[in-house]
Chain A
Amino acid sequence: MMLQLFFAYLAVAILGLSLFIITRKNPVHSVLGMLFMFIHVGALYLLLNAEFLAAAQVIVYAGAILVLFLFAIMILNIKEELQTELFVGSWVMAIPVGAGLLIMLLLGLKSVKPLYTGTHTVEYIKNMTHTKAFGKELFANYLLPFELVSVILLVAIVGAIVLAKKKL
């Protein structure tokens, strides 16, 4: 019962904060909403026994990405921003389209059942601790993708420097 209540609170908070993010006029308010949303998603990961990912979520998203967004907002003119219109031209049409898509997918995903069960049971992860189980799996079976991620990050670094140069 406690678990359901906790999940209900997190779900309501995440959905409400998502709506808050996309409807604010002032981008700084959106970023603050996003901070709280990321922390709630981290709590949801804790509910799913993924402690390492909860920590990574808070550190990478709330710590790194949001600071980047705040830096980008500094170059905007907030006074002018508060006077321009929030949405592009035909946003009224977007509401029925979005609602239709939502209802269609809600009905379509009504009866998803996991047919496959692997070896990482709750007991197994509890005995080994999540970080250790995660690291063992990552470095044993997913070493090449892990190395490739470093290439992606290198591309991001080089790309950001090239794009931020004085003369493009």
Chain B
Amino acid sequence: MVELQWYIWLSLGVFIIGLMGFLTRRNLIIVFMSVELMLNAVNINLVAMSHYMQDMRGQMLTLFVIAVAAAEAAIGLAILIALFRTKAAGHVDEATELKG
């Protein structure tokens, strides 16, 4: 029997790695991948909690998180393609219109 603790620590590690990637990477596609990493960390946490609490609620939430992640990836990559077509910019520091 693996302790609940270890699942939470694993999900924490994946979340921090995703956060670091999100904040430091320059390529926009990798930034989106880091968001997916963070969502996966949340999913691991929810399923582990659900298993150890013997309750289905966490797994319901996981299903919804997966659906939202799919929608987010579709919209995010559409925005990326639009940005690439109008400005030929694929990096986070090349789109600076809102800076003024």
- The DSSP consensus for interface residues of chain A is helix
A164 proximity list for chain B (CB < 8 A): 78, 81-82
The answer to whether A137 and B60 touch across the interface, beta carbons within 8 angstroms, is yes
Query: Is A126 interfacial (CB 8 A cutoff)?
Result: no
Is the CB–CB distance between B24 and A91 below 8 Å?
Answer: yes
> B16 touching A72 by the CB < 8 A rule?
no
Task: Check A69 against B73 for contact (C-beta < 8 Å).
Answer: yes
Q: Cβ of B75: which chain A residues have Cβ within 8 Å of it?
A: 156, 159-160, 163
Interface residues of B in 62-82 (CB under 8 A from A): 62-64, 66-75, 77-82
Contact A27 B29 (CB under 8 A): yes
The interface size of chain A toward B, counting residues with CB under 8 Å, comes to: 84
With contact pairs A48-B51, A69-B29 given, residues A152 and B44 touching in the complex (Cβ less than 8 Å): no
- A138 with B60: CB separation less than 8 A: yes
- A105 and B12 contacting across the interface, CB-CB below 8 Å: yes
Q: How many chain B residues touch A (Cβ–Cβ < 8 Å)?
A: 71
- Among B24, B60, B84, B93, point to the contact of A94 (Cβ < 8 A): B24
Question: What A residues does B26 contact at CB under 8 A?
Answer: 84-88
Contact at A53–B59, with CB atoms within 8 Å?
yes
Interface residues of B in 1-60 (CB under 8 A from A): 1-2, 4-10, 12-14, 16-21, 23-27, 29-30, 32-34, 36-37, 40, 43-44, 47-57, 59-60
Q: Which residues of A contact B50 (CB under 8 A)?
A: 48, 50
What are the residues of chain B within 8 A of A122 when measuring CB–CB?
A: 54
Q: Which residues of B contact A (CB under 8 A)?
A: 1-2, 4-10, 12-14, 16-21, 23-27, 29-30, 32-34, 36-37, 40, 43-44, 47-57, 59-60, 62-64, 66-75, 77-82, 84, 86, 90-93
List of 8 A-B pairs having minimum Cβ-Cβ separation, nearest first = A118-B55, A22-B21, A156-B71, A163-B78, A137-B56, A160-B78, A91-B24, A48-B51
Known contacts A50-B47, A109-B5; 5 further A-B pairs (Cβ under 8 A): A3-B2, A88-B24, A117-B54, A156-B71, A168-B86
